[in-house]
Structure 1
């Protein structure tokens, strides 16, 4: 299977290869040349372009030391 190099030095990874490596948009790949001169492509780690988890980005950032009862009273307008 072959592909064409663009003027910017880019190529499209053929679908069979993407499927075999379970590559999706945003995945990082690593290229290497082995002793025989063959180019080897490896999938790297975790996808980079996953949607941001807004809860994950806020987790552990509260610095208010409220007791639950005090906070609930404040939210209810009791305090």
Structure 2
């Protein structure tokens, strides 16, 4: 897949790439330069995209239990 650079230094990101990265108008992108390539990283997204990144706690404790542990640790 190739694109053409305009005289203003602009390119149109192909639709297949925009779809794959879930890009929409107004999204910000970061360009990371490597030795012989450029990596494009979307900087905006929905909070929903974060779902599943953090595992659920193994043990659930109450606020009272948390306060008790804090009091023990701070003396």
Same fold (TM over 0.5): yes
Structure index of larger Rg: 1
How many residues get paired?
Answer: 46
What displacement does 1:5 show? 0.3
Aligned to 2:39, the other structure's residue is in SS state strand
Runs of 4+ in 1 over 3 A off after TM superposition: none
TM-score (norm 2): 0.55
TM-score (norm 1): 0.53
What displacement does 1:38 show? 1.1
| TM-superposition CA deviations, 1:23-56 (whole Å, max 9, x none) | 0000001111224x11110100348xxxxxxxxx
1:38 is the counterpart of 2:37: yes
Higher relative contact order (CA 8 A, sep 6+): 1
Q: Partners in 2 of 1:5 and 1:22 — Cα distance?
A: 22
Aligned to 2:16, the other structure's residue is in SS state helix
Q: Partners in 1 of 2:23 and 2:44 — Cα distance?
A: 11
